[in-house]
Amino acid sequence: MTNRLYVIPGSHPAITARLMLDFKGIDYKRTDLMPVVAKGALRALGFPRTTVPALKIGGEKVQGSCEIARALDRIQPDPPLFPADPDRRAAVEDAERFGDERLQHPIRQLLWWGFKHEKENLRGYSEGARLGVPIGLAIKTGGPLVAISARLNEASDPSARAALAALPALLDQVDAYIADGTIGGPERNAADLQIATSIGLALTLDDLKPLIETRPAAALAREIVPNYPGHTPPILPPAWLPVAPTPA
Ligand SMILES: N[C@@H](CCC(=O)N[C@@H](CS)C(=O)NCC(=O)O)C(=O)O
C-alpha cells in the first residue's frame, strides 16, 4: 500500500512532515492541494480535520505534524524522533508544542498578509507543485481563494502587527531551546524539524530576515531546511517592523 502525504505547497508543517518521513527513510507519494480547496478534499478523503499535513500510511489516516511525529515513531521506531530518556523527551515535547501552537501561526499570518497584498508571490512557494492547473492560471484566478485564506488565517492589519510584535520573544525562545540543547544537537528530533520549518519560512520574507539572520535559530533552519521554497520581497509597512538586533 502506497503511503501518501497531502500538503499545501509552501506549508511549513507540511514540510516538517516531509522532513520526518525522509528522516525515517519511509517512501511516500505527495499530493499537492490548493489552500481552502484542501479543506473539502481532506474531508472527502476521510480525514477528521481540514488541515495539512495529512498522511495515509499503512491503512491509517494521521493528521497534524505532532500526531504524524508520534505515528512515525510507533510505526518505525528507528531512528527515533523523540529521545528515550523521559526528561529529555519531555523537553523535546515542550519545544515541539511551542513550535506547533505558538510559532507556526504568526508566521503563517504574515505570509498570508503578504499574499493578500501581492498574490504573484505565491508562485515561488508553489515551485515544483502539481496543482492540476498551471500556476500562472491559479494565481491569475486565485484572488478569491487568497482573500478567503487570508481571512481564515486572520491575516488582518491588526493581526499582522500583533504577529510582528510577538516575533522577537518567539525567536528568543527558539534560541533558548538551542542554547540548552533541546534542539540543534547532534541527533535530530521532532522539535528540530517542527521549529526549523517555521524559521525557514520566516526567512523567505525579506521583511523578517533582519530580525532572524544573525540568530542561532537561522543557522539551525539553514542546516535543516536549506532550500525553503518561496520569496516575499519587502511588503510590510516599515513602521510596523520591530527593530532588528545589532550583530554581536
Ligand atoms: N498546527 C497544525 C497546523 C496545520 C495547519 O494549519 N496547516 C495549514 C497550512 S500551514 C492548513 O492546512 N490550512 C488549510 C488551508 O489553507 O486550506 C500542524 O502542525 O499540523
Q: What is the CATH number of the domain that holds 109?
A: 1.20.1050
Chain centroid to CA 178: how far? 18
pLDDT band at 152 (very low <50, low <70, confident <90, very high): very high
How much is the pLDDT for 209? 97
How much is the pLDDT for 5? 98
Cis previous bond, 238, omega within 30: no
Cell readout for 120 is 504573484
Closest CA to 119 of 141, 134, 102: 141
What's the structural domain count of the chain? 2
The closest-lying atom of ligand 1 relative to the alpha carbon of residue 100 is 1
170-to-55, 106, 146, 198 alpha-carbon distances in Å: 28, 10, 27, 11
Are both 29 and 146 inside the same structural domain?
no
Residue 246 has pLDDT above 80, yes or no: no
Are both 40 and 152 inside the same structural domain?
no
Query: Please, are residues 84 and 29 in contact by the beta-carbon 8 Å criterion?
Result: no
Identify whether 120 is part of a domain.
yes
Are both 216 and 183 inside the same structural domain?
yes
Are both 71 and 97 inside the same structural domain?
no
- Tell me, yes or no, if the pTM score tops 0.95: yes
45-48's contacts with Cβ under 8 Å and 24+ in sequence apart are: 45/6, 47/6
Are both 60 and 139 inside the same structural domain?
no
33, 52, 63: residue to mutate for ligand 1 pocket, most atoms within 8 A of CB = 52
The amino acid present at 94, given as its one-letter code, is D
Ligand 1: distance of its center to the CA of 55 in Å? Answer: 13
Which structural domain, as residue segments, surrounds residue 124? Answer: 86-240
Are both 102 and 219 inside the same structural domain?
yes
How much is the pLDDT for 248? 65
Instruction: Please give the biggest Cα pair distance in the chain.
Output: 53
**C-beta 36 within 6 A of ligand 1:** yes
